[in-house]
Structures are given as C-alpha cells and as structure tokens.
Amino acid sequence: MKKLITILTCITLSIAILTGVYSHDQSLARATDVLVIREQIKLIHKRFESEQRVRRAQVVQERLWTLSDRYEGKVMPVSVREEARLLKAELARLRGE
C-alpha cells in the first residue's frame, strides 16, 4: 500500500512540475517572437517618421505661401527674406532634394 501511495505521489508531483514548466514557458516571450515584433516596430517607426516629415513639409509650405501672399508685389524686409530662405532650405531637405 505504501508503494502505491509513493508511486501515485511521484506521478502527481511529476505532472504538477511538468504543468508548471509548460505554463511558465508559454508565458515567456520566445526569441523568434521578439525578433518579429522588433521588425514590426522598426516598420512602424519608419512610417511614423515619414508621416512627420510630410506634415512638417506641409506646414513649411503653408508658411512660405503665407509669406509670399503677404508680400506679393512688396519689398520683403531682410528678416522675412531670411526666414523664407531658411524655410525653402528646410522644405528642400524634407523633400530630399
């Protein structure tokens, strides 16, 4: 009878240990999963940076149009000309020209 209890106890403990190890393994991220997620994050980051550049280019272009509309046919002050020059340079950089 003691042998049967010992055998059943060993089997129960083995099953409990294996179940614990399996559930712990399932809760941890695997190396391949981490690599896949890292690549996805890189793609999302690239898209985000691209959208930021596009938005900034739109803001700069609108500012240039505002300046050209405001000073159409008039002489631009030196500070405004310098701002327009800097904005044009930034716009060219944003567009990759």
- In angstroms, the CA 38 to CA 15 distance is 35
User: What tokens were used for 11?
Assistant: 């089997």
Question: Is residue 17, in this structure, part of any structural domain at all?
Answer: no
Ramachandran sector of residue 96 (left: φ over 0; alpha: ψ -120 to 50; beta: rest): left
Question: Which segment of 13-22, 37-46, 48-57, 84-93 scores lowest on mean pLDDT?
Answer: 13-22
End-to-end Cα spacing for the chain: 87
Distances (CA, A) of 18 to 5, 11, 30: 20, 11, 19
- Mean pLDDT taken over the chain: 90
For 13-19, what is the mean pLDDT?
91
Question: Is residue 14, in this structure, part of any structural domain at all?
Answer: no
* pLDDT tens by residue, 29-73: 677 788 899 999 999 999 999 999 999 999 999 999 999 999 888
> What does the pLDDT read at residue 24?
78
> What does the pLDDT read at residue 85?
95
Domain count, the chain: 1
Question: Is residue 60, in this structure, part of any structural domain at all?
Answer: yes
> Taking the model in full, what pTM does it have?
0.62
Question: Is residue 24, in this structure, part of any structural domain at all?
Answer: no
